[in-house]
Structure formats: structure tokens, C-alpha cells
Amino acid sequence: MEKLTLTLKNGTSITGNAFGAIKESEGEVVFTTGMVGYPESLTDPSFKDQILVLTYPLVGNYGVPSEELDEYKISKFFESTRIHLKGLIVTDYSETYSHWNAGKSLSDWLREYDVPGISGVDTRALTELLRDGGSQLGKIHGVDKKPDDDFYDPNKENLVAKVSTPKPEIYGEGKKHIAIIDTGMKLNILRSFLHRGIRVTRFPWNVSPFNEGYGPFDGVFFSNGPGDPELMVETVAIMKECFERKIPTFGICLGHQIMGIAGGAKTYKLKYGHRSQNQPCIDTRTGRCYITSQNHGFAIDAKTIKDDWEISFLNANDQTVEGLRHKHLPFFSVQFHPEANPGPVDTAFLFDEFVDML
């Protein structure tokens, strides 16, 4: 059996069994504590150029679904059209898979997108290292090769430009019409609006919906996506334009961070981020706790939030800002993923709140 080694920037090296593509790769090494949902997670654009460590030990046993389109002609089982990872690290990879909808193995799927995997790794020990020391840059390479000291840092790049739609696209029908600013949108966000009878025009990350002749719009939504929000100067400018027009505006994940920056707040990089389907978030108005799906490495600095804004959700584990709401105007955002896929759908009502604003 072929072997591959993962080397972290701090000098740690871990060797395991290769699966997927047998190749070198590099990116930011992060972990997720979700138990299921790897087809959705691996196709989430927010994981662009990251090497993902799965803490759940058994991976691959239900294979990968066959590609199928839903009634809106978008992927039924995946969150985008491809895998976005630079590598996958697991404890126990199951060569044998069984599921009524499985069309191929996880290893075959990784090979299809030229993504290497390593199994036979104590991923919980690796996760503890990343938790205590923070997310690390890393390289996957052959066992006989010593990598150089030049590590690729995806957070210094505009990753959104790599995953956003290249041109405006129109979906659905309905009396209400929203613009989605796609900074790496998961497809279940799009589906969540279409299910509610909303017509959607999807725009690239740097294209203002107010200049294209596609409107008028009843609201604007800013999606999730990868990378450092401070690099998204053009997207922040579009958000500010929404503020000036006082149009109902909703942001999720990166869209939440962009709303914070447009509103005058600052962001910072988390030590190891939140990536799982089991993050507890407290609604500050009601005190109710929701279990949420999350995938982000940056957060809004609570100390920099301006007086016109209030914190609507807080992370129960570390008290980081999980939601913003303007005190007087129809602007709000959440850091977590109410569209789920994978994860709980407990906060899907936020889509209804936005629709009610339109």
C-alpha cells in the first residue's frame, strides 16, 4: 500500500496510507467534528484550498451519491459542482461502501478531482495539536521527500474569486425577487429561497446588482465563502450600497463578516475556527440555544461593533459573535449555516424572517 506524509509548518510529520489521488498538495490544515455529511462538506466552497481533518473515525462507509439534479436543475446531493479541498485526513478509510444511493467510493471521487487522502492517522491527536497550537499550514508529500520551508497560505489569496459564479444567473419564479452575491455559495442556500417561491438572480462576488439591469430587487443576500473577509473590498462596497438604499439585506458566514465590516466593525482570525454540525448558539433576545452547522475561520470582533448594531447570536462555547442585527434598518446576518447540509435545520426560520422583510 502506498504511503503519504502530512508535514505541518511547525515541523510535525505524520505518515499514513494513501487513498484518493497519489500526489503532493498543500494548504491550511483544519479540522471538523461532524459525524456525517462528507459529500456535502467536501463540496462546500468555504473549504477551498484547505486540508481537512475528520475527527469521526470511520469514513467512506456509505460511499458518494450519484450525481442527480433536483427540480431547480441544481445538484441534489452536493453543495457545489466539485470538491474544493487540497487534502483529506482520516483515521479509518472504508474501501467497502454500502448505501442505496452510492454511485462510487470516496477514494474514486477524490481521484476524480485530483485530491489526495491519508488514512491510518490518529486524527483526534492531530486535532488536539491543531486546537492547542492553532490551525497550521501543511503539505502532503511522498514519504521520502523533505518539503522546503515555503508553505502556501491560502488566506493571503482572494479565494472567493476562485469559487464565485463567473456571470449572473437567474433561477425560479415568484413575485419577490432577490439578488444573491455569490462569494462561494452552498447550493442549499439557493434551494432554501427557491423552496419559498423567491425568484433569484445570482451575481459574482464583485458585481453590484444595482448596475446590471437585472432588477428591481426586493432584497439582497450575501453568501458564505472562503478566506479572509478583510480582502473582500469590492464585496464590502456592494454591502455598503445596500445600506445606502435601505434594502432588506441578509448575510450568512462570510456574508455575516462582510456585513460587520461594512457596518464599521473589524474581523480577526480564530485560533482554529468552528467547523462542525454541533455548535451551540444563543439567541440573545430569547435566551434559546440552537445547535448549528458551521464552517469558518474568522469572526467579528465584538468590541468594534458600532452602536447602531446589536449582537443577535453568541456562540455558547467561546462567546464569539454569531449574529448581527441593525437596530433600526432591515439588515441582519448570522455566522452559522441555517441552510444546514450537513447539519441540523433548527435555524431555517431565518430564511422566513428575511422573506417577510421583502
Residues noted as catalytic: 253, 337, 339
CA 251 – CA 236 distance, rounded (Å): 12
CA-only gyration radius of the chain, Å: 20
Cβ atoms of 114 and 23 closer than 8 Å: yes
Opening angle at CA 99, ends 93 and 100, nearest 5: 165
- Which grid cell is 238? 456592494
Strands 199-204 and 249-252: unpaired
Query: In terms of C-beta density within 10 A (0-12 exposed, 13-18 middle, 19 or more buried), how is residue 205 classed?
Result: buried
Question: Considering only CA atoms, which of 289, 315, 290, 285 is closest in space to residue 300?
Answer: 315
SS (H, E, C) 211-255: CCCCCCCCEEEECCCCCCHHHCHHHHHHHHHHHHHCCCEEEECHH
Distance CA 224, CA 266 (A): 18
CB contact at 8 A, 113 and 77: no
